[in-house]
């Protein structure tokens, strides 16, 4: 049996660029040196996109379950039987329906341990809504399916990692939602993920302010003084190396982020706008805090360029590699701990130890 990491891939909206970046990625056979990809979709939908891209020499190995995946091939599981009407570049109810069928089957296999990680191609957060999907996005859906109490939207690249305290909520609700305990919890999650998933022994985390100029000593808002600073102090006392709050504009403008292993932003756009400006083509959205590994490219459905064979697959490739590396890092850490337990030696401090100590 192959020990290669099995990566499940949900296809996202069939009318967007999801299958284009998936196919461009998997057409490179060198990907198979790192992982065993398993796409959840349908042969006819994939064939439509494959022909549009002119990838006539590329074919999937069609299997009925992830357990039958060939580690030397790109694999495909058919998730439905009927024909699907494809309208490239258009948001349709059909696009949402089949994006959800792909996601549901892939997530089922992920939860059951049939695959080691999941990479999700972009969905349309509006047309995917249904009786079984009433979530702002992938992150919240996967949180419920995993049974995780809390998760962290963690944008990662080679040069920058950004987490957010509040995710998919209206901007008008951000200030009233943020609490000291919430910030401390997100810092714990970043700290744990950096240790467990990225093998950074002593992570250094920057915390951004909420208001312009980080409140300017209370002149422009009191959240920094009353909520954010106390959270930083509490987290630091619990062994998390964190500093701030920093004014977001100057922090990114003068590249202060390069001095840290990660950054905690207070809300979605405060973190994602600079991240995508700095690392758009190579950025990856990683959901930390789940019981399993999930990544995605950091772009959307790209309706405006769908079907034009111009979508850049770099972010999707990076998402595939990130999922593979994180699974391998977790495996190595688990093996290291098991070896130490068997040998009766002292167990080194792990991410879970840090979490327990912090509690």
Residue 167 confidence class, pLDDT cut points 50, 70, 90: confident
Residue 133 confidence class, pLDDT cut points 50, 70, 90: very high
- Domain coordinates in residue numbering, the chain: 1-148+290-342, 151-283
- Report which of 15, 17, 63, 73 is spatially closest to residue 40, judged by C-alpha positions: 63
Q: What does the pLDDT look like over 55-108, one tens digit per residue? A: 988 999 999 999 999 999 999 999 999 999 999 999 999 999 999 999 999 999
**Torsion of Cα atoms, 329 then 330 then 336 then 337, to 10°:** 150
| Distance between CA atoms of residues 246 and 241, nearest Å | 15
Q: Which fold has domain 1-148+290-342?
A: Isopropylmalate Dehydrogenase (3.40.718)
Q: What does the pLDDT look like over 194-215, one tens digit per residue? A: 999 999 999 999 999 999 999 8
Percentage of residues of the chain with pLDDT beyond 90: 82
- Report which of 354, 116, 356, 83 is spatially closest to residue 240, judged by C-alpha positions: 354
Section 135-158 average pLDDT? 92
Q: What does the pLDDT look like over 226-276, one tens digit per residue? A: 999 999 999 999 999 999 999 999 999 999 999 999 999 999 999 999 999
- Mapping DSSP onto H, E and C, the string for 180-203 reads HHHHHHHHHHHHHHHHHCCCCCCC
- Residues contacting residue 13 through CB under 8 Å, at least 6 positions apart: 91, 95, 96, 99, 121, 122, 123, 124, 127, 128, 301
User: Does pLDDT of 37 surpass 70?
Assistant: yes
User: Does pLDDT of 355 surpass 60?
Assistant: no
b (16+ CB within 10 A) / e for 32-43: beebbbbbbbbe
Write down the pLDDT at residue 3: 83
User: Does pLDDT of 348 surpass 90?
Assistant: no
- In CATH, 151-283 is 3.10.20.600: no
User: Does pLDDT of 335 surpass 90?
Assistant: no
This prediction has a pTM of 0.88
Residue 328 confidence class, pLDDT cut points 50, 70, 90: very high
Write down the pLDDT at residue 338: 77
Strands of the sheet with 35-41, listed across from one edge: 61-63, 75-78, 35-41, 5-10, 117-120, 293-297, 284-288, 152-156, 161-164, 262-265, 204-208, 241-246
When mean pLDDT is compared across 132-136, 178-182, 267-271, the lowest value belongs to: 132-136
Residue 281 confidence class, pLDDT cut points 50, 70, 90: confident
As a whole number, the mean pLDDT across the chain is: 92
Write down the pLDDT at residue 49: 95
Q: How far is CA 17 from the centre of its chain?
A: 18
Highest average pLDDT, of 256-260, 278-282, 328-332, 355-359, comes from 256-260
């Amino acid at each position: 049996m192959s020990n290669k990491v099995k990566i499940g891939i949900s296809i996202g909206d069939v009318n967007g660029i999801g299958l284009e970046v998936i196919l461009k990625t998997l057409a490179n056979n060198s990907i198979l040196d790192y992982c065993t990809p398993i796409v959840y979709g349908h042969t006819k939908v994939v064939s439509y996109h494959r022909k549009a891209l002119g990838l006539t020499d590329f074919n999937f190995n069609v299997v009925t379950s992830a357990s039958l995946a060939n580690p030397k091939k790109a694999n495909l599981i058919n998730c439905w039987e009927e024909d699907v009407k494809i309208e490239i570049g258009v948001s349709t109810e059909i696009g949402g329906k089949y994006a959800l069928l792909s996601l549901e089957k892939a997530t089922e296999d992920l939860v059951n341990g049939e695959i080691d990680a999941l990479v999700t191609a972009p969905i349309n957060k509006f047309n995917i809504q249904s009786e079984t999907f009433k979530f702002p996005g992938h992150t919240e859906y996967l949180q419920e399916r995993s049974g995780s109490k809390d998760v962290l939207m963690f944008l990662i690249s080679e040069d920058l990692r950004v987490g957010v305290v509040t995710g998919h909520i209206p901007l008008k609700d951000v200030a009233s939602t943020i609490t000291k305990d919430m910030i401390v919890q997100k810092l714990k999650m970043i700290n744990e993920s950096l240790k467990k998933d990225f093998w950074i022994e002593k992570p250094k985390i920057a915390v951004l302010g909420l208001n312009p100029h980080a409140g300017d000593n209370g002149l422009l808002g009191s959240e920094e003084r009353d909520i954010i600073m106390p959270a930083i102090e509490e987290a630091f006392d619990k062994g998390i190396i964190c500093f701030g709050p920093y004014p977001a504009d100057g922090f990114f403008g003068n590249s202060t982020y390069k001095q840290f292993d990660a950054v905690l932003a207070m809300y979605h756009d405060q973190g994602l706008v600079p991240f995508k400006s700095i690392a758009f083509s190579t950025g990856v959205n990683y959901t930390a805090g789940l019981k399993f590994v999930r990544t995605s490219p950091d772009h959307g459905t790209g309706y405006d360029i769908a079907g034009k064979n111009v979508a850049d697959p770099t972010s999707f490739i990076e998402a595939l590699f990130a999922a593979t590396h994180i699974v391998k890092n977790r495996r190595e850490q688990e093996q290291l701990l098991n070896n130490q337990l068997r040998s009766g030696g002292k167990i080194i401090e792990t991410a879970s130890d840090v979490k327990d100590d912090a509690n």
